[in-house]
Amino acid sequence: MGELNEFCGICAACTPGRNACPDLYQMMKDLQHRGQAGAGMATYDPDRKRILKTHKRTGTVDEVFGGEDQGGIQDILQEMKGSIGIGHTRYGTSGSLTSRHVQPFERVHGLRGKWFAFGFNGHIANRKDLESRIKDLGYHLMLDTDTEVMMHYFSHHISGTGGELKEVFRRMSLDLDGAYNMAFIDAMGDLVVARDPWGIRPLSSIVTENGSFAASETCALYRQGTEDIHHIEPGEMAILRDGGIEYHRFAERRKRSLCFFEFIYFASVTSNLDGRSVYETRKRCGEELARIETQDINDRDWVVIPVPNTARPIANSFAKALGHPRIYEEGLIAVGKGRTFIDEGDRSAKVRRKFMPIPSVLKGKKVIVIDDSIVRSTTMATIVRYHLKEVGGAKEVHVRIATPPIIAPCYYGIDMRTFDELVASRYEEMITSGIMDEEARSCIAQKINAESLIYLTHEGLLRALGMDRNNLCMACLDRRYPTPAGQELDRVNHEHFSKSLRELPDP
């Protein structure tokens, strides 16, 4: 799909006796799907005048580290040489996009214990409150980003604890509300990754004979090994030292709240999140959609296609579960480079550029098109009207969505910030457990030019995930936000939205 943009990816490597940069570079490339707007790494080398060094700027990992020019990459990785380091790929959820906003953020200080760099993945829900508190302490904010706010809290707590890192992270946890997996390195040679107490984003680690490694997703660890991957617990920090890892609890465990969207859309299909395969989960979503299919589908008139790439396993298993595996086809190809948010132009124009239909698959057919989600609806409306019907020649298009309707914003790092922008939010009263009533569904189906529309139900989604609702964040589906600041933002914003609902244009 492409209506949602990712947050970030973090990684860390400790490779005693050798340069960690090539590993970090590869891990960042393997996390590229979590952010293509900027990339950077920070490394430590006590024999270097600049003990801690950061290389970062806007662009993809390859662009930041020398583009196609292999010599350029090697030069940068050699110049950044260090046996420990952290890496970051960024899609900014707050702040504008300049090199200064790209992470890691480095704070240079004459005292080695106060000189550090860090990157984080997520979004701070209580940022406004943190900003005013840190300003009261005399700090100045120059950039419109939560990363800068976090940097000042790190500085403040490092000063207040004499640099005792477990205590620094404990104090950070008392301040921060939201999703915030962190990778931290300092000029003393300390290297830490930490997962927020709710575990909203995934974080994993591995120790091999090559050293110790941590990353937002297991796909960035597989090149080191697939056995013995550790899924870092919510509220747990990992200290990477001498090629090994020590785990410590730095924060009280809160209600585990892994973002369900990681499974359905954000994470790489190859990854395993807290012990669960993304690929197998997506397949089960397809089977669950097949259970609630209402059309009388046959091999002759129908074809099932995914919106590439996330919906592929969903659509494939959907067709199999219906008993018609041969009607699964690739009818839509992603041709535009990168995600739609990087391009210029309005959203619909970007979507037109991003895909190309295959008319020989679609012409004259009744098409079931499967996607992971509908957020604003522009992407699906363009695909149905332009790619599948106008260019592809489909006779009918029936849309099937592997998530229940999204009715509320995300305050934990996903680019859907307001009720107004969500196509399903105004139908909240007409949705029960993810089941939207017929009238609301036909309004949205009309909006996206489809003959019919079916969403997965909450029950079906939970079965596909194989998880209990209480271990997940599904707040954008049911407004049960796991953190206090998320709940407060929901209260204020929903009140405001309800008041303005009558003034919204007709669907």
Residue 279 amino acid letter: Y
- 473, 485, 490, 497: residue in contact with ligand SF4 (rule CB under 6 A): 473
Residues forming the active site: 8
Query: Can you list the alpha helix ranges (DSSP code H) found in 322-435?
Result: 347-354, 359-362, 378-382
Beta carbons of 185 and 116 less than 8 angstroms apart: yes
322 binds ligand SF4 (CB under 6 A): no
- 221, 259, 304, 422: residue in contact with ligand SF4 (rule CB under 6 A): 259
Least distance from C-beta 255 to ligand SF4, angstroms?
12
Based on CB atoms, which residue is closest to ligand SF4, 5 or 317? 5
Q: Measure the CA–CA gap between 59 and 98, rounded to whole angstroms.
A: 10
Q: Measure the CA–CA gap between 401 and 74, rounded to whole angstroms.
A: 44
- Which of these ranges, 17-25, 101-109, 259-267, 461-469, lies near ligand SF4 under the rule CB under 6 A? 259-267
Based on CB atoms, which residue is closest to ligand SF4, 213 or 266? 266
The distance of Cα 27 from the centroid of its chain, to the nearest Å, equals 16
Q: Measure the CA–CA gap between 152 and 132, rounded to whole angstroms.
A: 12
By C-alpha distance, which of 280, 256, 136 is closest to 196? 256
Least distance from C-beta 125 to ligand SF4, angstroms?
10
Tokens of 299: 């091999």
Q: Measure the CA–CA gap between 171 and 179, rounded to whole angstroms.
A: 16
475 binds ligand SF4 (CB under 6 A): yes
- Which of these ranges, 139-147, 188-196, 347-355, 408-416, lies near ligand SF4 under the rule CB under 6 A? 408-416
- 172, 194, 402, 410: residue in contact with ligand SF4 (rule CB under 6 A): 410
- 153, 180, 260, 419: residue in contact with ligand SF4 (rule CB under 6 A): 260
264 binds ligand SF4 (CB under 6 A): no
Beta carbons of 35 and 58 less than 8 angstroms apart: no
Q: Measure the CA–CA gap between 236 and 433, rounded to whole angstroms.
A: 33
261 binds ligand SF4 (CB under 6 A): yes
Tokens of 198: 């709710």
Least distance from C-beta 264 to ligand SF4, angstroms?
9
By C-alpha distance, which of 312, 307, 316, 315 is closest to 351? 307
Burial class (CB in 10 A: 0-12, 13-18, 19+), 109: middle
461 binds ligand SF4 (CB under 6 A): no
Based on CB atoms, which residue is closest to ligand SF4, 12 or 410? 410
- 314, 414, 453, 467: residue in contact with ligand SF4 (rule CB under 6 A): 414
| Residues in 198-257 at the binding interface with ligand SF4, rule: CB under 6 A | 200
Separation in Å, CA 221 to CA 27, 44, 225, 385: 7, 21, 7, 41
| Per-residue binding letters, 154-193, with ligand SF4 (x by CB under 6 A) | ----------------------------------------
- 7, 120, 355, 412: residue in contact with ligand SF4 (rule CB under 6 A): 412
- Which of these ranges, 31-39, 46-54, 471-479, 489-497, lies near ligand SF4 under the rule CB under 6 A? 471-479
Locus of tokens 């589908």: 297
Which spans of this chain sit near ligand SF4 (rule: CB under 6 A)? 200, 259-261, 410, 412, 414, 473-476
